[in-house]
Structure 1
Amino acid sequence: MRVISKAALEGLRRRYKPGTRVELLQMDDVQAPPIGTKGTVLGVDDIGSIMVAWDNGSGLSVAYGADLCRVVSGDE
């Protein structure tokens, strides 16, 4: 796992504000939601994980430096 800098953490918190809609692009976990699953950001924790309430009911976070998601507009 990569250690996040203070500047990078602040950047993540600006980009992934609570309520932001995201789409999962990559997650290396046997319990991961399917790629393409959308969800709503709950926040970013102190190690840079993006906490998401996935539309399929999953609650797995997007791990900094390992997993990927992207911001989507409300109509996607």
Structure 2
Amino acid sequence: MNNQLCERMRTHYPPGTRVQLLRMDDPYAPVPSGTRGTVTHVDDMGQLQMRWDNGQSLALIPEEDVFRKLTAAELAEEQTMQEVQGFEMKME
């Protein structure tokens, strides 16, 4: 991937961006489809380094893997769920 494309990826997927994996073609350690995660950074090869919600840290390769950014509504739903879970933990 050339420098322009890497910079475009960094602009479009800054650290903290939430994505959902739709499909990963990795026969050795695939992240399951549907898993959500957070971009930690975009490396010099244009790969999205990830912190997946299931604890894995396998990178996304834009030319091979299929994924999407979460919508504003999905991000708001996640925030609400985190707040509810935090409230429930305080109640225990």
CA shift at 1:66, angstroms?
1.1
Bigger helix share: 2
Q: Deviations over 1:50-75 (max 9, x none)?
A: 01100001100001311122110313
Please list every run of 5 or more consecutive structure 2 residues that lacks an aligned counterpart in the other structure: 78-92
Aligned residues: 73
Identity %: 42
Report what 2:44 is aligned to: 46
Distance in 1, matches of 2:64 and 2:13, equals 16
Bigger strand share: 1
The residue correspondences of 1:1-76 to structure 2 (distance < 5 A) are 4-30=1-27, 31-73=29-71, 74-75=75-76
Bigger Rg over Cα: 2
Alpha-carbon RMSD across the aligned residues, in angstroms, is 1.2
Distance in 2, matches of 1:5 and 1:75, equals 34
Runs of 4+ in 1 over 3 A off after TM superposition: none
Q: Deviations over 1:26-45 (max 9, x none)?
A: 21113111111000110100
SS in structure 2 opposite 1:14?
helix
SS in structure 1 opposite 2:14?
coil
Identify the structure with bigger relative contact order (alpha carbons < 8 Å, sequence gap 6+): 1
Distance in 2, matches of 1:12 and 1:75, equals 24
TM-score by length of 1: 0.87
